[in-house]
Amino acid sequence: MNKAVLFQQIKIKKSFLCIGLDTDIEKIPTHLLKEEDPVFSFNKAIIDATATCAVAYKPNTAFYEEYGAKGWLSLEKTIEYIRSNYPEIFIIADAKRGDIGNTSAKYAAAFFDKLGADAITVAPYMGHDSVLPFLNHKDKWVILLALTSNIGSADFQYITSGDKKLFEKVLETAKSWADPDQLMFVVGATHPEEIGLIRKIVPDYFLLVPGVGAQGGDLQAVANFGLNKECGLLVNSSRGIIYKSDKEDFAIQAAIEAQKIQHEMETILLQKGII
């Protein structure tokens, strides 16, 4: 998927919502535990209930790897289900990978060719040759960590060299590696004040913004600082949507929550003249 197609979906759905499929068997409704694959059953219900509101889904691999090969199978089935039933939706493997060149090439094969994701999150620490192998896949995306939503982001991402913080250096360096049709950046919603600064460094790149909802980020502030003329934002909510209820009505409650966020996003997109 390229950027134009993604923006088209945003305009059609009037939404820039990404839903994180961080599916934890200890948090899903107990009635699903009798299913053959409770994680997939949960995801399927969540996806069917929210697909009209979401332009992207983002399964985080940790939640699947916890169950080993069986968990990886749930992940494969989930991505295949989205791909078959909602081909317009952008699928992000939130994997935070990155290794030496020949190894990153294997990760690219794993996530793009085998699993069929559109995008993968990548950690920048190992530099350009850990990232470039992912960019050899046409219409596939790297979403590079820049400024993360957690408190530990302060440990290294804010280190200052000259007049630049490390996350600024990551943005400035990485934008020479790929254009905005293959590269996005992760910027936590917990740093709205920095999103404006980041938007100046990478005006045309999409930002994937986690941290709205359970982590405390504010959608309106993120939008004020981060929107560009092609939207330029995918705002993620995971726990705030998928665990809205732990009863049999979990999918309906997730749909209601996703619709609520979609309505807020629609209002914002209209106000800003983007749709």
Q: Is 37 a binder of its own copies (CB under 8 A)?
A: no
In angstroms, give the least distance from the CB of 150 to its own copies. 4
145 or 255: whose CB is closer to its own copies? 145
When binding is defined by CB under 8 A, the residue of 128, 229, 247, 260 that contacts its own copies is 128
* Close Cβ partners of 194 (under 8 Å, ≥ 6 residues apart): 147, 167, 187
Question: How far apart are the C-alpha atoms of 157 and 194, rounded to whole Å?
Answer: 12
Contact 98, 125 (CB under 8 A): yes
Contact 222, 233 (CB under 8 A): yes
Question: How far apart are the C-alpha atoms of 177 and 60, rounded to whole Å?
Answer: 25
13 or 169: whose CB is closer to its own copies? 169
Question: How far apart are the C-alpha atoms of 18 and 1, rounded to whole Å?
Answer: 15
Residues 177-216 that bind its own copies (CB under 8 A): 215
In angstroms, give the least distance from the CB of 170 to its own copies. 7
Q: What angle do CA 165, 210, 189 make, to 5 degrees?
A: 55
211 or 226: whose CB is closer to its own copies? 211
When binding is defined by CB under 8 A, the residue of 37, 48, 88, 99 that contacts its own copies is 99
Residues 52-91 that bind its own copies (CB under 8 A): 60, 62-63, 65-73, 76
274 DSSP assignment: -
Q: Is 125 a binder of its own copies (CB under 8 A)?
A: yes
Let me know if 184 is exposed, middle or buried by CB neighbors in 10 A (0-12, 13-18, 19+).
buried
Q: Is 25 a binder of its own copies (CB under 8 A)?
A: no
Nearest Cα to 206, choosing from 153, 268, 144, 258?
144
**Beta-strand (E) ranges in 60-181?**
90-97, 119-122, 141-147, 160-161, 164-165
30 or 160: whose CB is closer to its own copies? 160
Q: Is 111 a binder of its own copies (CB under 8 A)?
A: yes
One character per residue 140-179, x = contact with its own copies (rule: CB under 8 A): -----x--xxxxxxxxxx-xxx----x--xx--x------
Contact 261, 241 (CB under 8 A): yes
49 or 187: whose CB is closer to its own copies? 187
| Beta pairing class for 233-237 and 17-21 | parallel
Size of the site for its own copies (CB under 8 A): 59
In angstroms, give the least distance from the CB of 66 to its own copies. 5
Kindly report the number of other CB atoms within 10 A of residue 28's CB atom.
22
Q: Is 270 a binder of its own copies (CB under 8 A)?
A: no
Tokens of 240: 């705030």
Listed ranges 9-17, 28-36, 44-52, 128-136: which one lies at the site for its own copies (CB under 8 A): 128-136
- Which residue numbers are catalytic? 96
Q: Which positions lie near its own copies, rule CB under 8 A?
A: 22, 24, 60, 62-63, 65-73, 76, 94, 96-101, 103-104, 106-107, 109-111, 114-115, 123-131, 145, 148-157, 159-161, 166, 169-170, 173, 215
